[in-house]
Amino acid sequence: MSTQSQTVADELARRKREECLDLPESLGDLVRDQAALMGDQKLAVWFEQDRSLTYRELDQMASALASSLSRKGVRKGSHVAVLLGNTPAYPLTWVALGRLGAAMVPVNTAYTSDEIAFILKDSDAQYLIIDATHISKLEGVLPTLELLDESRVFVAGDAGHPNAWETLVEQGDPSFAPDYKVSRNDLLNIQYTSGTTGFPKGCLLSHDYWVIHAHNSARHRRPADSGIKNVLIWAPFFYMDPMWQFLMTIRLGGTCWIANRMSLTHFLSWLIDYRIHYCIFPEPALTVHPPSERDKQTCLRYISVYSWTERARREVMGRFNVIAREAYGMTEIGTGTLVPEWACDKALMRTCGLPAAFRELRILNDEGSEVAPGETGELWVSGRSIFWGYYKRPQANAESFRGKWFRTGDLFRQDEDGFYYLVGRIKEMIKRSGENIAANEVEAVLRSLPGIEEAAAIPVPDPLRREEVKAYLKLRAGLSVSELPPEAVLAHCAKHLAAFKVPRYLQYIETDFPRTPSRKIAKKRLIQEMRDPFENTYDGQEKRWR
């Protein structure tokens, strides 16, 4: 066995041993255990609001809130929708609901009234906890809901409201415990996915799902030579990332510094001012903040990077002397793969890593057979406490599960050493003349061109080939189209892509892409907002602007 193979085998064996660890039984137990250890240490700081929580305060205030909600009728199995911003109310509410065995339904604060109504109806929400700034969105919604009325809507941020969330906390019992057991196999979240096609679907996630997520995240993102104590959270809490980062911080016994929302302009200052050790690092921040003497003031020890170019990975590791690693996960499975700290060369090759503890992976072809190393197929995942399924979606569940195996819909390959690589998303495939083209692969090649900051590949209709490839390009600051013309971009693509994968159409954007709150490019909006998919585009086949 080669040295590399032995190292991989040792890593997988170590992760397998972790599956024998005695993990907390529930979210409430995780918080209580750490509160007993950490006491009055700061757990979370909302630095733009001048608010904070200690470990003990989270534990006791969550119990107080749980006792008041219990008196209002919230019980084990209740569905409680939560429409809150990045405030202390969010994690306090989550832990309180977990203590009761109730299920939280996170609701995107950017949703319209119609979208909120859909989530409340689809999730069968019986209660709603909402920030006062979003109350107006309930106009016309409540009368359409059979399971909700004003008496079961609790408002945060307005202490004078008859159903004020703050009053529930103040009047609750900090030593409260329900008279029934909440176990690891109880439901904790109905987490709605953004939905690549159709309406969002609610993923049923247990307490054990989240405890394992916290364990894998904390165990892995802990450099051998120094611990991670300060974690930066910048995405909205109704998304997955802030929730697992919050639990990871608890597991590490650290402090999370929480922003109201992402600001690329202030990002570097946040890293310096709050001595951040870990964060999810957005690639555009490298451009917004060019190399400077300020880089030396950062304390980064480990960062997560997703779909970065090799050039950007080298730059961030060199500038900040930091470990930068990819990972793979999704709402349905939690943590799927992690890149070991020792896999330096592999990390530059954009691998997603090796299977995480509690997870088993397979790559299968269309016939359901495992593919050989180097070949591409669909990733299937199984393991303890992946999601139970999609709420009230029997057809989607039938299509997604084969026994214990969940079909991710993501295309992967595995190298000879056992490392996994994300190739693309089946639902983001562009089908040109019968050939499947992964948008992710085209974008990676485009972004490897030094003048291109970001790129997005989408399908556009074509009468002959069914679909053609169109790429949107955002150039680096200070560059003009004349300095990086379409001909140069297409020539670069032709060197690195098969001819059928080279985009036919290119469109330069001058401002920014439409984005989700987690800073991902919102491709659905790109497609929906196109009045004419060929307007202001360069046609590489006809060699002209259209």
Q: What is the pLDDT of residues 109-136, one digit of tens each?
A: 988 888 899 999 999 999 999 999 999 9
Contact indicator for 98, 177 with CB cutoff of 8 Å: no
Write the single-letter amino acid at 354: L
Burial class of residue 76, CB neighbours in 10 A (0-12, 13-18, 19+): middle
Question: For residues 324 and 468, what is the distance between their CA atoms, to the nearest angstrom?
Answer: 35
In this structure, the number of other CB atoms found within 10 A of the CB of residue 397 comes to 15
Contact indicator for 282, 267 with CB cutoff of 8 Å: yes
Q: Contacts for 398-403 with beta carbons within 8 Å, 24 or more apart?
A: 400/332, 402/368
Question: For residues 506 and 382, what is the distance between their CA atoms, to the nearest angstrom?
Answer: 40
Look at residue 468 in the predicted model and tell me its pLDDT.
93
- For the sheet with 354-355, list strands across it: 327-330, 334-338, 354-355
Beta strands 42-46 and 255-258, pairing class:
parallel
Tally the C-alpha atoms within 13 A of residue 76's C-alpha that lie toward its C-beta. Answer: 12
CA distances from 479 to 396, 470, 484, 536 (A): 46, 21, 8, 18
Q: Extract the tokens encoding 108.
A: 């995107």
Give, for 438, the enclosing helix (H) or strand (E): strand 435-438
Question: For residues 228 and 300, what is the distance between their CA atoms, to the nearest angstrom?
Answer: 9
In sequence order, which residues have a C-beta less than 8 Å from that of residue 104 and are 6 or more positions away? 80, 81, 82, 93, 94, 97, 98, 188, 189, 190
Q: Which of 210, 238, 136 is nearest to 517 (CA)?
A: 238
C-alpha of 15 from chain center: 22
Q: Please list the residues that pair with 466 across neighbouring strands.
A: 462
Look at residue 465 in the predicted model and tell me its pLDDT.
82
- Give me the residue spans of the domains in the chain: 54-206, 433-545
Question: For residues 116 and 131, what is the distance between their CA atoms, to the nearest angstrom?
Answer: 13
- For the sheet with 255-258, list strands across it: 51-54, 42-46, 255-258, 230-233, 278-280, 302-304, 323-325
Q: Which of 355, 358, 393, 361 is nearest to 378 (CA)?
A: 361
Look at residue 124 in the predicted model and tell me its pLDDT.
98
Question: For residues 435 and 459, what is the distance between their CA atoms, to the nearest angstrom?
Answer: 13
Look at residue 78 in the predicted model and tell me its pLDDT.
98
In sequence order, which residues have a C-beta less than 8 Å from that of residue 114 and are 6 or more positions away? none
Look at residue 194 in the predicted model and tell me its pLDDT.
61
Question: For residues 216 and 48, what is the distance between their CA atoms, to the nearest angstrom?
Answer: 29
> Which option is the CATH number for 54-206: 3.40.50.620, 3.40.50.980, 3.40.50.1360, 3.40.640.10?
3.40.50.980
Question: For residues 62 and 170, what is the distance between their CA atoms, to the nearest angstrom?
Answer: 11
In sequence order, which residues have a C-beta less than 8 Å from that of residue 266 and are 6 or more positions away? none
Q: Please list the residues that pair with 381 across neighbouring strands.
A: 361, 406
The CATH fold of domain 433-545 = GMP Synthetase; Chain A, domain 3 (3.30.300)
User: Could you give the maximum distance between any two Cα atoms of the chain, in Å?
Assistant: 73
Look at residue 224 in the predicted model and tell me its pLDDT.
65
Look at residue 196 in the predicted model and tell me its pLDDT.
43
In this structure, the number of other CB atoms found within 10 A of the CB of residue 268 comes to 17
- Which residue positions in the chain have pLDDT lower than 70? 1-2, 194-198, 223-225, 517-518
Contact indicator for 514, 526 with CB cutoff of 8 Å: yes
Write the single-letter amino acid at 319: R
Please give the full DSSP string across 370-420, using - where no structure is assigned.
BPPTT--EEEEEE-TT----BTT-HHHHHHHEETTEEEEEEEEEE-TTS-E
Length of the chain: 546
Look at residue 225 in the predicted model and tell me its pLDDT.
66
CA distances from 546 to 421, 472, 486 (A): 37, 15, 13
CB burial string 347-368: b at 16+ within 10 A, e below:
bbebbbbbbbbbbebbbbeeee
In this structure, the number of other CB atoms found within 10 A of the CB of residue 148 comes to 22
